[in-house]
Structure 1
């Protein structure tokens, strides 16, 4: 036997096996589950199309069994929106997401709805970080409830995740909730953070609440176009369903719709410190019919609901028709629920007209009994109703502003009472409103009208700056209370659309 040849053959085999093992060792797979704009749609809901957190947890747990490396991210608008969250100001959501082992959350505009003090408390009680690298204070002080980024390691691969909050937060929550804060340019911020991370990590992920809406000044698509070095953007805010992800330059953008209708996941392959493959997927609610709900999450949700039931189950009246509060409807045209709400405001405050922002209407109500919980779900922000004095010119300017983003589904779109107006949706913004009537008569730009609105808009929210200096005539308490009182007094209600808003 030629031992020299045998030794060389064995050495060659060992080297090949070693090299093969080295290549395999340098290839790491990472799965990233993601959600956005859940708006506390915690439970499975046929009407809203939500799968709920319990089914999501089952899917994520299954993924953690199948995959060695799994991350779970939330792109914001998480703590507010439904009664289960609003009654305890987000604490229930924090607890549930802790049980689901959330890795990080970026702050959405509605996550500020309880104010900064409460946001600080939520950050302290949560075991996951709140990310917002472009958020700072005017006085230069540190923000106690956010951090710029996190770094996590998976089989030797370092992954950096940084957050970006939409600058629209300055007017898409109540202005008092963001006093003293600065929402810096997300593109400039992203460049700076990526430059800092590139020497520290192998994979860069931006967890953003920017959206891809044409009505937004800053979008995640702009970040991908102008900031090299981001492998993945997990986005929210515009509620888009991005099937298979969207490649912009070398960056993949993903978004999973809204209201827990989808659970997104992205599979990354990292070789020699570089992303060699990226695959984006969505699991729609209709594909989860046979998925069992996670026992722990279901039990926690049931206990929270039982504690809240004494409040939410009280019947305030009935509706003879379905009340349309769908996002795509209240932000682009007149709806019967928008009419009901503004009629209630105008009746309560005895004004010439009423105007409320479509973005403040967050759900529909089925025909039949109306419970207190349903009204709170429709009007979850705790806004107060108030009457102000406006000149006819300012009232028209408000309507112009309200339709300025049409046909984009923006929350500033107005729902009105005591007003009828026509506008040209194809005309240049600022010159769209054609005719306006108040109380059945043509608007007089020099006349002074009393207008019922909410405190969010009065403070300039959603960009209604013409309301800021308007004198307040009187206030009427919570908007949800105003609506409940009106329903109780006029039950059964049966509002219709009445051509209050005509689009030409």
Structure 2
């Protein structure tokens, strides 16, 4: 009887504690930066941490002691990370007075040692609750953090990293990401309830769709500050979960071009629909830079300029990046870059538009550098992966063939695929006859005349042999965000947009990884594209 009475009193004490934690109201301002990807400096007068600092300080003055700044993962990527291992980014976030953060998949790109070095430079807690070693041991990072507001609220926060970590970076080492995110979140909610938190915030590097799923599945999360999908949310989104629990979600795009601001009004621990708001504040040309932040992160940019010309690997031969080479046939440079995409994505095939490769010149043999790759691919786009049926893959190649211009032609140029849409490929070889009818398509993506230029198309098999494209088979595909989104009138890819998703990897960085992997930058003509005369 005494045991039963003790158990009942223990349960009652927990119930009172939980009820007290969620009986509270109040307001707190949450600021966030997600998916910076090394873009800590203003680019063309837009974005950067020095501009963010100006806005953050103004908001903190509005609500002193009740405003908190969080970083939502993928701070790091690209040459800044490669050369300085997060030192520049973490110095900037420190100067902003960041209160907490979580890990993104790109923090793992350079391996465990660099990951630990990067996180060690953060003067704020970097929390993640679904990361473990492969043998089950917990990762050496805190699972959560707690902050007190001037107004007396207790704010708890925890982090989740994408379950796709293993497929998105080879630098994950012995780490694995927990897959059951609702269970991970529920575990952390219960823990933070016991800590007496009035509000619980999830720092989620999992993407908006996953954030919505978690909010529908778990009661107790007041707000989700998101990242990973690079979604620019213009206003707040409320999601109703178990028992009518209300969670609010916000995500602020990418590349430090916007600062997220959530004014969270609490009602029994939930987000109050009437008072809570979210907006992504543009860090535009009208925002002045904080001079102190700008001054203290500038030395890294100056040193980076020097390092960009340091060789990554030998480049034994010239690379022809002239327009007429890339848009009228197989180009060794196109082969190399398409191979890099296929390798990085682990895809069956890869392709990129000839117009996505720039410079319009011959890059001389010598050494491949980051500066070389940046000149070749200046757009800063990301690598996407998806799947296509063989039938759709054949249509992609037919669309590419329409971009081949055969001298003087009578077809309406407005109905043709632009020459920049001619594709460079990997894992494929095909033949086209430019004397035949090209695909004609208007600017709204409506096919006016089917094309007949594609004569033959084959896919490389795992054993190195070639087999015809099977219209009924599903192939995995890697390409750029531009082409995956239907750029250059690749309407089939736009139609299949839901089948593609971002790998959250700059395609320039995918090429750099491939150079480092091969220990050289070499491409050869292999008969991938045949133009019948």
TM-score by length of 2: 0.60
Match of 2:206 among 204, 210, 220: 210
Q: CA separation of 1:36/1:61 partners in 2, compared to 1, >3 Å: closer, same or farther?
A: same
What SS does the corresponding residue of 2:110 show, helix, strand or coil? coil
Aligned twin of 1:138 = 134
Structure 1 residue 197, shift from structure 2 partner = 1.5
Aligned twin of 2:34 = 36
Q: Does 1:62 align with 2:58?
A: yes
Distance 1:67 1:305 in 2: 33
Q: Does 1:448 align with 2:464?
A: yes
State the Cα deviation string for residues 211-262 of structure 1 (Å, max 9, x = none): 135xxxxx11110000011110001111111111211111111111111221
Aligned twin of 2:144 = 149
Q: Does 1:78 align with 2:75?
A: yes
Q: CA separation of 1:238/1:346 partners in 2, compared to 1, >3 Å: closer, same or farther?
A: closer
Q: Does 1:158 align with 2:154?
A: yes
RMSD of aligned C-alpha atoms? 4.7
Q: CA separation of 1:150/1:476 partners in 2, compared to 1, >3 Å: closer, same or farther?
A: closer
Distance 1:264 1:125 in 2: 24
Q: How does 1:66-215 map to 2 (within 5 A)?
A: 66-68=62-64, 69-80=66-77, 82-144=78-140, 146-154=141-149, 155-174=151-170, 176-199=171-194, 200-213=196-209
Distance 2:71 2:25 in 1: 26
Distance 2:154 2:56 in 1: 21
Structure 1 residue 183, shift from structure 2 partner = 2.3
Aligned twin of 1:216 = none
Q: CA separation of 1:477/1:258 partners in 2, compared to 1, >3 Å: closer, same or farther?
A: closer
Contact 1:150 1:160 survives alignment (8 Å): yes
State the Cα deviation string for residues 358-410 of structure 1 (Å, max 9, x = none): 9999xx77657889444556899xxxxxxxxxxxxxxxx99779x99xx9xxx
Distance 1:191 1:125 in 2: 30
Contact 1:109 1:173 survives alignment (8 Å): yes
Contact 2:357 2:377 survives alignment (8 Å): no
Which consecutive unaligned segments of at least 5 residues does structure 1 have?
1-25, 214-218, 325-334, 381-396, 408-413, 423-437, 451-455, 457-461, 464-474, 491-497
Distance 1:63 1:178 in 2: 40
Distance 1:322 1:150 in 2: 57
Match of 1:243 among 213, 228, 234: 234
Distance 1:191 1:347 in 2: 42
Q: CA separation of 1:379/1:97 partners in 2, compared to 1, >3 Å: closer, same or farther?
A: farther
Q: CA separation of 1:322/1:177 partners in 2, compared to 1, >3 Å: closer, same or farther?
A: farther
What SS does the corresponding residue of 1:196 show, helix, strand or coil? helix
Distance 1:90 1:151 in 2: 25
Q: CA separation of 1:226/1:177 partners in 2, compared to 1, >3 Å: closer, same or farther?
A: same
Distance 1:444 1:134 in 2: 38
Distance 1:133 1:179 in 2: 16
Aligned twin of 1:226 = 217
Q: How does 1:100-499 map to 2 (within 5 A)?
A: 100-144=96-140, 146-154=141-149, 155-174=151-170, 176-199=171-194, 200-213=196-209, 219-249=210-240, 250-270=246-266, 275-276=271-272, 277-285=275-283, 288-312=284-308, 342-344=334-336, 357=345, 367=359, 372-375=369-372, 416-417=425-426, 419-420=428-429, 442-443=458-459, 448-449=464-465, 478=516, 482-483=520-521
Distance 1:158 1:444 in 2: 58
Contact 2:429 2:457 survives alignment (8 Å): no
Structure 1 residue 84, shift from structure 2 partner = 2.2
Which consecutive unaligned segments of at least 5 residues does structure 2 have?
1-23, 241-245, 379-385, 397-422, 432-453, 467-477, 479-499, 502-512
Contact 2:133 2:176 survives alignment (8 Å): yes
Distance 2:185 2:114 in 1: 27
Distance 1:303 1:243 in 2: 34
Distance 1:27 1:347 in 2: 56
Q: CA separation of 1:367/1:92 partners in 2, compared to 1, >3 Å: closer, same or farther?
A: same
State the Cα deviation string for residues 146-192 of structure 1 (Å, max 9, x = none): 11110100021000101111110011111x52324342411111011
Q: CA separation of 1:236/1:342 partners in 2, compared to 1, >3 Å: closer, same or farther?
A: same
Structure 1 residue 118, shift from structure 2 partner = 1.8
Distance 2:346 2:285 in 1: 32
Q: More deviation in 261-270 or 231-240?
A: 261-270
Distance 2:87 2:32 in 1: 21
Contact 1:375 1:480 survives alignment (8 Å): no
What SS does the corresponding residue of 1:130 show, helix, strand or coil? coil
TM-score by length of 1: 0.63
Contact 1:322 1:366 survives alignment (8 Å): no
